[in-house]
Chains A and B, each alone.
Chain A
């Protein structure tokens, strides 16, 4: 990407950003990529509206949503765990939405995020320059030092740098470390990066993140891409912790209702002596804490520790007369 202009869309009466594209990228792949990106409907990803083509058909510029809020880079680190998770959650959402559309951003870093006039964080600047050119002999790797995982420096059998979603997950982890610690460990900028050490451990940060969150973030910056979690799981875990104690579950057994939430955390259900089940809410999830006799959740036997899915049917007992519990959970959403 090179020149950037803020323009007025005279048809739809809105401010837009027009970014001219560097040449050298295969036009067909670029258009495919832009078409896919324009389909992403995410609150936390800048919307790509359109492309501009020359008469020859070559795409020369991208038209996207204009953001007029503050930068994310250069802000003081969040003061506590809640503020830290509130900062990371929208970033995780945006990347997760991109991955859900089968795309890789390729250039996640603090400088590629900004807020709009309602303070909503949005990710922009897809690493379009990193789209490799099929058939080309040598491929140049454009990369952002510190935010690029070790595997990005390797080439595959046909000499290409391969970008998977795990690249974005690493970049997210490095971004999180930078935003929370105020700096990245020096080794991160080596080629390839030198990882590990206490500076790169989220458990040592002053925000004192909950252990499962710190462990998940540590896994994001794992050297092996197979050890990194899926972005969807990172988003989900952050969301659950931001919604701590705000969930409810509703159980109906033989016409009788029980509600579990932060004010009433556990319940025990039984149908005669044939099946007994106890469930408890730990602020994050509803889990089985006791089971005896014949108990099936969605027709599968369960063990202690089993987490109830968003909707399920629990059957107590066997044979023709059974206790049937229908379960549904509330869907609070993180609003920032």
Chain B
């Protein structure tokens, strides 16, 4: 039995952070959380690296887009899949995130935790297969 997949959750809203963390833990993931972009980026660059990063866009200190750009610019973090969890359904935001290399883009209000866990699972195991 391998070690549980590590999830880095970067989310400034504490209720969302709590609900998401609880749901993923229940489903057997190891979850690390960050309250803002700066902390998110710092944790993302810390060893051991996360298997997947869940990233909010609208956050204090550093917007999610900048975090994403920084992660993709660094070879050691570039290959970690990043799922964007935003509440903006603006097409521009979505396109920008996908162009920067995000693995997916979800509007939190329209996403159930169950579906989120399925996506995370799919991405982690797809990644782990390599």
Partners in one complex: no
